[in-house]
Structure 1
Amino acid sequence: MGLNAISSALLKGIYHSFKGMSVICYLDKEINERKQNRHSPTIRQKHIEREPSPHPHQRKQEDSKVIHKVLQCATLNGGIFLASVFVFECLLLPSLNKFFSVLFGSDAFVTMVVWSWIEYIVLLVYRSFWLVPLFFLSRVINAFWFQDIADSAYRYSRGRPVAFPSISELFADSIFSIFVQFLFLLQASLTSYIPIYPVGYILYVVQMSLLYSLYSFEYKWFNMGWKLHERLAFIENHWPYFVGFGLPLTIFTQLSDSWVVSGCVFSILFPFFILSGNEASPVTDASDIHLQLFTPVIAVANTFFSKIIGNNKHIPSAATNANTMPQQTSRLNRR
């Protein structure tokens, strides 16, 4: 396992990350055709006189709408949210600034003082009553749409999801996963400030790529019944592929310094990465090195929950262990 194998896995991860672009073209059609073929013509003929034909609108609601959900994400995050940011920052503010410059004429000092107050008030109103509420509202709506897209894709390719043993374990795994991801995002942000260039930036990009890969594959792995420690261990042990898979999304979201613009870009592109992750077959033999970047945040998360909640059997342990990998790999291959 050398540099060539690592490079090959990284490039294959990049290639697989774009598969969602092609999957979206045929996924809805095949899902809906599969639904229609579940009922044979003879059965439909037997019940045709007893059961009225479904209303066209009702039939439409039964069809898969993966493309529709993806377009909704693009419309909300790009057509409404992102467009409003550009209109405000590139049109409204410059126009107001020009208006007050013309209004007060050559008195530059008065113009500067008045505009500083006007700009502060306008920005405060804009952020308080539009930007922040729309940001949180879009996050909630996106979460439901992302889940619908992932569930439809998973049922199409793998069938019924594997249920967790209990609701409490499901809830605990979800909460713990969110907390670990938040800590890992914080860790990645802190490493970007390492003063040795380009070590800090490379570490940041690698960690963000792994995090975005976790985001993309977690829907599938969650439906497969994988616990958090299994998901993290799989990414750590096969990191070359997952660095490559998450790298395009990392690059796209780094094109702007604005966290709002980056968030909109992420929400527009992420549905395609969900579909790509659902269809992808990760490379599992590229490196024998276990890149344990999640280990620090796992230790912090375990300590936090043990101190705050205490010893509870429903709190998942997220300690990654390479010894669990043969079982995980075989489960992945069977699916």
Structure 2
Amino acid sequence: MEKVKCCGVLWVEGLREACCLHRVVILCLRSKNLLMRTGQCFLLNGFIFLGSIFVLNSVVIPALWWILPDQCSQLVSHKLCALGGTLKFYSFLRLALIQLFYGLWFYPLYVFSIVLSTLWYNDIAKYGYAAMGRSKFTVDKVSSQNNTPIMQNAIQAKRPSGLEGVMIGIGEQVYSILLLSVFFLEVYATGFIPFIGKVLNFLLLSWMYAYYCFEYKWNFNEVALDRRLDYFQSYWPFFAGFGSPCVLAIFFFSPLVSYGIMAILFPLFVLTATGSEADQEISFERSKWRPAGVERLPIFYVSNNVSMWILSLLPLEKQDRTQDRKAQ
């Protein structure tokens, strides 16, 4: 019961951190670039993308059903109804026009939105991090109050300098992309499990979006990948709570509508994570990370093993060193 209580407290804390959307307003007021990028994201994904879906469902499709009806009583000339293939032809024509609308507008807009929004998310996180540095949320304030000079030197020395440090950073990025891609496939597969599939899918999606939200901040803080994953899997109830509002907003909609809503909400949660101080002890000693009563949950166990297996098939040099660094 003590462990359950501790997990519940961390989950509620994560949910509370995700709902602190006032940080978005504060950070946007401090940075015009951030306000502009956030507004562009809302304009593209909210007004244009979701607006197009609304126009399709409210105007285009009803108009096609009026022009190309599926019942004889709705036809202008009843002679057309005598022709056996008329209604079938109308049905085929309606479907073809709708698919043409999707092929010429929605799918290109969907791809364009993904590419452009991904670039904008990075800008939003960068401008938000800079605005946070000028505000009272700054990470340096917390770090200076809690880290001793010895600990600060240890944090700064966590990655080698020079070419070796650059290569390690590139390797971490490649591994991170592969790990999260495999984890996404794992999330997708859980949706087909009977009975408990939806629950597992919701939980894994919450973790995935929470990790994405905090990853921008951890990249700017240059937190090593192994420390991120260890911290994330140690405080798994907190991140499950943080990601749950984001998933709840899209869980009951169609895929296209869900994407549009997510594309609008995701920058807000990224800024909320950027302004959060709940994860500051990620830079502290490992012994201080562990929350009392909560066991480390190997969330990325399957994706880690699959990723390492994929990397083992590649002719990479110094593979043993990479495996030792990435293995959890």
Provide TM-score, normalisation by structure 1.
Answer: 0.77
Are residues 218 and 254 of structure 1, via their aligned partners in 2, closer, same or farther at CA, if it must alter by over 3 Å? same
Distance 1:30 1:124 in 2: 44
1:150-189 aligned within 5 A: 150-158=125-133, 165=161, 166-189=165-188
> Could you tell me whether the CA contact under 8 Å between 2:34 and 2:127 is conserved in 1?
yes
Are residues 155 and 315 of structure 1, via their aligned partners in 2, closer, same or farther at CA, if it must alter by over 3 Å? farther
> Could you tell me whether the CA contact under 8 Å between 1:18 and 1:272 is conserved in 2?
no
Distance 2:68 2:128 in 1: 54
Residue equivalent to 1:325: none
- The DSSP-based 3-state class of the residue aligned with 1:2 is helix
Deviation at 1:24, TM superposition (A): 2.3
Residue equivalent to 1:280: 276
Deviates more, 1:310-319 or 1:201-210: 310-319
Instruction: Give the residue type in structure 2 aligned to 1:16.
Output: E
- The DSSP-based 3-state class of the residue aligned with 1:308 is coil
- The DSSP-based 3-state class of the residue aligned with 1:65 is helix
Distance 1:201 1:150 in 2: 30
Distance 1:234 1:172 in 2: 20
Residue equivalent to 1:331: none
> Could you tell me whether the CA contact under 8 Å between 2:139 and 2:277 is conserved in 1?
no
Residue equivalent to 2:46: 78
Residue equivalent to 2:124: 149
Deviation at 1:179, TM superposition (A): 2.1
Residue equivalent to 2:144: none
Residue equivalent to 1:23: 23
Coordinate RMSD, CA, aligned: 2.6
String of CA shifts for 1:236-292, please: whole Å, max 9, x gaps.
Answer: 111010000000001111120x21111111110011101111122337626431211
Are residues 71 and 104 of structure 1, via their aligned partners in 2, closer, same or farther at CA, if it must alter by over 3 Å? same
Deviation at 1:111, TM superposition (A): 4.2
Can you give the 5+ residue segments of structure 2 that lack an aligned partner in the other structure?
A: 141-155, 280-288
Residue equivalent to 2:66: 98
> Could you tell me whether the CA contact under 8 Å between 2:24 and 2:272 is conserved in 1?
no
1:1-335 aligned within 5 A: 1-19=2-20, 21-31=21-31, 64-101=32-69, 102-103=74-75, 105-106=77-78, 107=81, 109-158=84-133, 165=161, 166-195=165-194, 197=195, 199-256=196-253, 258-282=254-278, 285=291, 287-312=293-318, 317-320=325-328
How many residue pairs were aligned?
284
Instruction: Give the residue type in structure 2 aligned to 1:279.
Output: G
Deviation at 1:220, TM superposition (A): 0.4
- The DSSP-based 3-state class of the residue aligned with 2:68 is helix
Instruction: Give the residue type in structure 2 aligned to 1:237.
Output: S
Provide TM-score, normalisation by structure 2.
Answer: 0.78
> Could you tell me whether the CA contact under 8 Å between 1:192 and 1:200 is conserved in 2?
yes
Distance 1:306 1:6 in 2: 36
> Could you tell me whether the CA contact under 8 Å between 2:68 and 2:91 is conserved in 1?
no
Deviation at 1:150, TM superposition (A): 0.7
Are residues 309 and 103 of structure 1, via their aligned partners in 2, closer, same or farther at CA, if it must alter by over 3 Å? farther
Indicate the percent of aligned positions where both proteins have the same amino acid.
Answer: 25
Instruction: Give the residue type in structure 1 aligned to 2:308.
Output: N
> Could you tell me whether the CA contact under 8 Å between 2:61 and 2:98 is conserved in 1?
no
